[in-house]
């Protein structure tokens, strides 16, 4: 039986909160963007450029199976124990630190990630969008909560670094993206002007922190996993894919 992903936010993934009952998700039909007003494009990695199916499978299915086998637990009991441990460090760097989880769980999480790296892949529209941005002369940066070791594995698998100017780990910045402290530190690293920057992510908490800092152009990616339906945001304008942005003509 296929395990259905929980609503718990997972390490290296960005499943934002469900829309408030009675609220209306912001439609992707209202994502008109003046590209002449954008110099820097800040893009999340897992769920926005890369298919989040790998992360969901890894943290909610394969790692719980290994943990259950190690401790003689039923799968559901192991899953609930891990979800509780994920929640305990959410928002901290340990949340996405593969070495932390290796020590904490007594399982080589890095080796296990490599074992399943064949599941790591771009969203179908991602490379085309990155090429569009570079052709338009935009500075393109990946800003990710992922640990450096996880980034290295995903770069080796996808070559994502060849399509952007820089890949910035939260560990380089010192904070995760949902923290207010992240954004001024990230600006110091990249030198972007918040008023002339576009930021796209599938995590509403990260988008909210960026908006509070003053990033002018904010978009939510509603289709983070190829195996799950889109989940539009009630707080931010959502896009299911990048095609609408690529069809908009620069003026």
Tens place of pLDDT for every residue, the chain, 251 residues?
A: 333 344 456 676 444 433 333 333 454 444 579 999 999 999 999 999 999 999 999 999 999 999 999 999 999 999 999 999 999 999 999 999 999 999 999 999 999 999 999 999 999 999 999 999 999 999 999 999 999 999 999 999 999 999 999 999 999 999 999 999 999 999 999 999 999 999 999 999 999 999 999 999 999 999 999 999 999 999 999 999 999 899 865 44
Do residues 60 and 144 share a domain?
no
Name the domain boundary from 72, 103, 118.
Answer: 118
Quote the number of domains for the chain.
2
Name the domain boundary from 118, 133, 150.
Answer: 118
Name the domain boundary from 74, 92, 118.
Answer: 118
**For residue 157, what are the domain limits?**
28-51+121-247
Determine, yes or no, domain membership for 9: no
Mapping DSSP to helix (H, G, I), strand (E, B) and coil, where does residue 77 land?
helix
Nearest CA to 95 out of 168, 219, 160, 8 is that of 8
pTM (2 d.p.): 0.89
Do residues 137 and 235 share a domain?
yes
Please give the pLDDT value at position 12.
61
Q: Are 173 and 186 in contact (CB under 8 A)?
A: yes
Determine, yes or no, domain membership for 10: no
Q: Are 120 and 68 in contact (CB under 8 A)?
A: no
Rounded to whole angstroms, the Cα distance separating 170 from 192 reads: 16
Rounded to whole angstroms, the Cα distance separating 13 from 53 reads: 9
Q: Are 96 and 147 in contact (CB under 8 A)?
A: yes
39: domain CATH number? Answer: 3.40.50.1000
* Phi and psi, residue 237, nearest 5°: -65, 130
Rounded to whole angstroms, the Cα distance separating 48 from 25 reads: 18
CA-based R_g, the chain, Å: 18
CB atoms within 10 A of CB 118: 9
Nearest CA to 240 out of 31, 20, 15 is that of 31
Do residues 66 and 139 share a domain?
no
Q: At what angle do helices 98-105 and 148-158 cross, to 10 degrees?
A: 120
User: How many degrees, rounded to 5, is the angle at CA 101 between CA 97 and CA 107?
Assistant: 140
Do residues 151 and 106 share a domain?
no
Do residues 137 and 213 share a domain?
yes
């Amino acid at each position: 039986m296929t395990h259905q992903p929980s609503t718990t936010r997972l390490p290296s993934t960005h499943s934002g909160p469900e829309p408030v009952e009675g609220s209306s998700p912001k439609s992707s039909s209202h994502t008109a963007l003046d590209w002449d007003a954008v110099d820097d494009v800040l893009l999340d990695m897992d769920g926005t450029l890369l298919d989040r199916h790998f992360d969901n499978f890894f943290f909610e299915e394969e790692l719980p199976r290994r943990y259950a086998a190690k401790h003689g637990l039923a799968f559901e009991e192991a899953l609930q124990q891990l979800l509780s441990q994920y929640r305990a460090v959410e928002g901290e760097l340990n949340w996405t630190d593969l070495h932390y989880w290796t020590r904490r769980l007594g399982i080589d999480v890095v080796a296990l990630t490599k074992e399943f790296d064949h599941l790591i892949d771009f969203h179908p529209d991602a490379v085309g969008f990155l090429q569009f941005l570079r052709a338009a002369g935009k500075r393109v940066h990946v800003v990710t909560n992922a640990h450096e070791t996880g980034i290295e594995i995903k770069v080796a698998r996808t070559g994502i670094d060849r399509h952007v100017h820089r890949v910035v780990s939260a560990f380089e910045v010192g904070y995760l993206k949902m923290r207010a402290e992240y954004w001024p530190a990230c600006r110091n690293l990249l030198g972007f002007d918040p008023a002339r920057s576009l930021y796209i992510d599938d995590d509403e908490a990260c988008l909210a922190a960026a908006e509070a800092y003053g990033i002018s152009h904010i978009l939510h990616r509603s289709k983070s996993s190829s195996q799950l339906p889109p989940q539009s945001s009630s707080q931010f304008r959502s896009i299911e894919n990048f095609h609408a942005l690529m069809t908009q003509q620069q003026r």
